[in-house]
């Protein structure tokens, strides 16, 4: 026994349709896959591409911190870090780009750890800071004071 979904037009087994007593035959007109898709689209905040990307970033950052055996690991969302720092690079004090799509730009916003993970730093909001891509990369694992001192020597 199968039924045709009014949304995708596919004939599917009855079990693929949610029970709905208000509908003829006691089943929903749309298949479960189409209902899930509709629910997904109805949740605009959680399901935009950008929001998913941020969650993905937070997850990857957490995993990376765990791989360093960081003493404390919490879920850090980079937008929270950037907003907390006013979109200012903590290394050079200049504004970072707010456009997260332009991530290869040397002025792109990145999250750095004030105390590097490799130096036993934690992955927490308190230890996460905003840095330009260029500043973050040139700093590598130096702590920021060492970095600034080296820069002064080099200049
Ligand atoms: Zn369908
Ligand atoms: Zn900078």
- Residues whose beta carbons lie less than 5 angstroms from ion ligand 1: 5, 7-8, 31, 34
3-state secondary structure of 55: helix
Domains and CATH numbers, the chain: 2-42 (no CATH), 48-154 (1.10.30)
Q: How far apart are CA 57 and CA 51, in angstroms?
A: 10
Q: Report how far apart the first and last C-alpha atoms of the chain are (Å, whole number).
A: 79
Ligand 2 mean position to 38 CA, how many Å?
43
Alpha-carbon dihedral sign for residues 10, 11, 13, 19: positive
Check: CB of residue 111 under 8 Å from CB of residue 89: no
Check: CB of residue 61 under 8 Å from CB of residue 76: yes
Task: Show pLDDT as tens, one digit a residue, over the chain (155 residues).
Answer: 899 999 999 999 999 999 999 988 899 999 999 998 888 777 665 567 788 888 889 999 999 999 999 999 999 999 999 999 999 999 999 999 998 888 889 999 999 999 999 899 999 999 999 999 999 887 665 555 666 666 666 55
Ligand 1 mean position to 108 CA, how many Å?
42
């Amino acid at each position: 026994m199968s039924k045709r979904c009014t949304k995708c037009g596919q004939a599917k087994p009855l079990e693929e349709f949610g029970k709905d007593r208000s509908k003829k035959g006691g089943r929903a007109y749309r298949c479960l896959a189409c209902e899930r898709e509709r629910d997904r689209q109805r949740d605009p905040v959680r399901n935009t591409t950008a929001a998913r990307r941020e969650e993905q970033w937070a997850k990857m950052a957490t995993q990376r911190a765990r791989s360093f055996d960081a003493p404390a690991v919490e879920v850090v969302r980079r937008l929270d870090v950037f907003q907390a720092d006013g979109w200012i690079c903590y290394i050079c004090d200049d504004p970072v780009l707010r456009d997260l799509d332009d991530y290869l730009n040397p002025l792109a916003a990145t999250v750095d750890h004030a105390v590097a993970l490799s130096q036993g730093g934690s992955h927490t909001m308190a230890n996460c800071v905003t840095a330009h891509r260029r500043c973050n990369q040139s700093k590598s694992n130096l702590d920021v004071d060492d970095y600034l001192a080296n820069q002064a020597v080099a200049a």
